[in-house]
Structure formats: structure tokens, C-alpha cells
Structure 1
């Protein structure tokens, strides 16, 4: 009897073991399905192990079939030389006024001077003033000249109205483009070092280039940020934040006055950097 094979999970033995026990409790059914459950568990575990072992090869096979994504197009900022400055226009000499219609005799107002500077000069005679008008110098009149009407006495020269130039220029149209402390390369270096890769973009493997344009104001500060090429997943906001970390520029000059200048920069986001 001891040398024979005894399988306690066979139905005959289970009926003997559970003869006087509650077969609806659950242990009876578990003993009955023990062999099939073990087989199923072994099959599932083996399948999962094989799939994990072959996963790298399956991924490499699929990656070889799929087409490679097109390379990212990077926009380069090319700064052209500013146009040559026009030579200064010479002011023409003042135009002599036309001769008056009637003769004019020099009769300047009296000026108080020291005795050693006073020169003896005969004033015009009364007979001469009857046929000529008093003036600052003696001028022979032209009887055929048009009568020039003299306007009312003004209050003297007024201050010229200064028109503020609020136009936005480009680098190509500037006499003196804006400059960054340390040069444009230092500006790029400052911005790229300040870029923080957004976690949302890195988790989703988002890579590419964001192009941002902005205005360099008259005081050298940067304003009016605009994302011309978006990438999303927080990269657009990260690019603008990096630009705001840069220092002030030396403003661009046009006709000797500071003006606004537009500038754009590509910022590349790469997980390999």
C-alpha cells in the first residue's frame, strides 16, 4: 500500500476526506481545481517571461519598418550690415530779401556805448526821410517791386515741436543696430543657459524648435514677446521665461535718437543636450 501512488487530489480521495464536511465551504472546490489552476498559472507566467525577453527585438523590428521623422528645420538669424549713412546735407545760404519798393536810409535805433567806441556818424536829414523810409541799412528801392505786407509782430521764435518716433525698425534698416553687453553670442549663451526643459515635454519626448520674436525698446528693455513657431507642452512659456532672464540691450539709434527694433531668436529643445 505504501509503495503505490496515492493522489490525494483525486475525486475518490476528496470524497473520503470531505465525507462528513461541508463541501459548499470552498475548500472542496479549490482541491478539485488545483491542478488546472496550477497549469494556467504556469502558462501565463511563461508567456509573460517570453514577451519580456523578446520585447527589445520586437521593438527594434518595428522601429526598422516605420519611416524616420523628417529633420527639424532650424531658422538661423542672419544679421546684415546696416546701410551706409547718408552724407550730411549742407544748409543753403540764406536768401537775400528782395529790394523794397521805396528807398531806405540807414537809421538804426540809438545804442548806449562807451565813449571810446562811439563813432561820429551823421543822422539822415529830414529832407531824405521825406522820400525814404528809415531802416537798419541804406538800400536803394525798386519802384516796380511788389508791395510786401508785413505781418503783425510775433513773440519771437518758438520751440520746435519734437515728433516722437514710435516706429518699429528691423536690423537691416538700422543706422546703429542695438547691441547686447558682451555681444550677440553672449545673449544666445545667456538665453540657452536659462532654458528649463518642461517636465511635461520631457515626459512626452517632445523635441523641436520654438521661434520667439520681441521688441527691443528705446530704453534697451525687451517687450512684446510673441511665439512665431509653437511646440507646446510648456516649451513656449519656457522660451519666453528664458528671454526675460537676459540683461537690457543698448538701444538701436536712428538719426541720433533711440528707436524700437524687432528681433527674433530660435530656441531648440532637445533631450540629448
Structure 2
């Protein structure tokens, strides 16, 4: 009896010898080790859960600070204010001289600007880019015609076409010259030519008193059907111009239009 440990099952058998082992005390003592271990485990689990809840509640009111990650590929956008260029002022129309010229020579159309005996400002600089995406055509500056006659005004018989520098009021296209250049650039079908970056076509035409275009000619044709295409585009124009004016009366006006065709 002295050698029996209270932690062994033999101790229970000695104590409950001859007694009803189905009684609750025997079962409690028999399951005591397992019950004690389970109680310790659940107690530790409860205490750990309570401590975790307290720790989380202490951080719940604080906002999370997210530090930005440095990126070497950041794109920095800088706003730049563009200054609109000032439009050049049109020069006043030259006053008609009192004396008539001794010889009434008809004006000669020059496809490219030439020097006059008395240079005068061009009232219609015509610097506009009519090239639209996909067309590759750009009318170049200098749409007015430069005549090689003296700067004095010839007698207007009403039938001859006058250069723009002799007019009191220049012809105007509905919507402005930029709209006319845009029409030419949009409708000009460029040919497919290899090893050629650009070509230049120069056409001339007469703006009649009623605003229609007549006498359309090609002054410079690089070939490949570009001259015919320029004539086709101008003939297909349905809108009429406002004619040029001299002394308040409409007159026939001679115009020259250089067209640069970009092949790229």
C-alpha cells in the first residue's frame, strides 16, 4: 500500500475495491489527467484570444500609414502656356496713280515670285498649311500672282483678269483661305511613287465676277498625273468665291496656287 502512487490507476483500484466503480467519483478520478490537460489548453487558448483582441483594438483607431514607393519611371507633366502669334497686319491697298501709263501692257503671270521695278507689299500672303492627316498635300505660301508689268494700274476693260495687287478688295473664299487650303489638301489624291519625298504643282485660275473658277491651268507639272489631279480638285469645287473689287465693282482676278505633295 505504501508503494502505490496516487497518480497511478492502481491507487483508484485499491480505493474503490469492492465498490461500485460506475459511481461518478471513480469516473472523475479516472479521467482527471485528461480533463486537467484539456482545461489548461482551453484556458491558454482563451487567454491568448483575449490578449489578441485587446492588441487589435488598440490599433483599430489609428490610420494605416502607407509609404509611397519610389519609382524612377514617374511621369512629370508640366503645363506650358503657349503664346498665340500675332497676325500680321494687311498692308493698305496702293493708291491708284493719277497719270495713266503710256502703254497698256497685259500682266504676265509668273508661277514663282519675281522682282518688280517698284516692289510693293503682297496683300494676300496666303501662308496656311492645308495638309490634313492622310492626304500629304500642303499648299505653300505665295498664292497671289506676281505680274512683271509696272506697278501702275492699267485701264480695266472689264474682261481682262487682274492680279491681286491691283485690287481694292481681294477675293474671299467662304470660311476663309484656310478652309480653301484644307479643301485642296483633303481632296488631292497623291500618287504612290517610290524614291520621291515631295513634288510641287503650280496651278493658275481666274476668279470670275460671279465667284466661279475658270481658265484652270497647270503652270508647273511634275508628272505622274499630279497636274490633272490639281485641275480635277479645283473643278470639283462647288462653292463660289466673293469676287475681287476695284472701285466698288467686281472684276476678274488671276490667282496662282502652288501645291506641295508629300509622298511620305
Please give the TM-score of this superposition, normalised by the length of structure 2.
0.40
Please give the TM-score of this superposition, normalised by the length of structure 1.
0.39
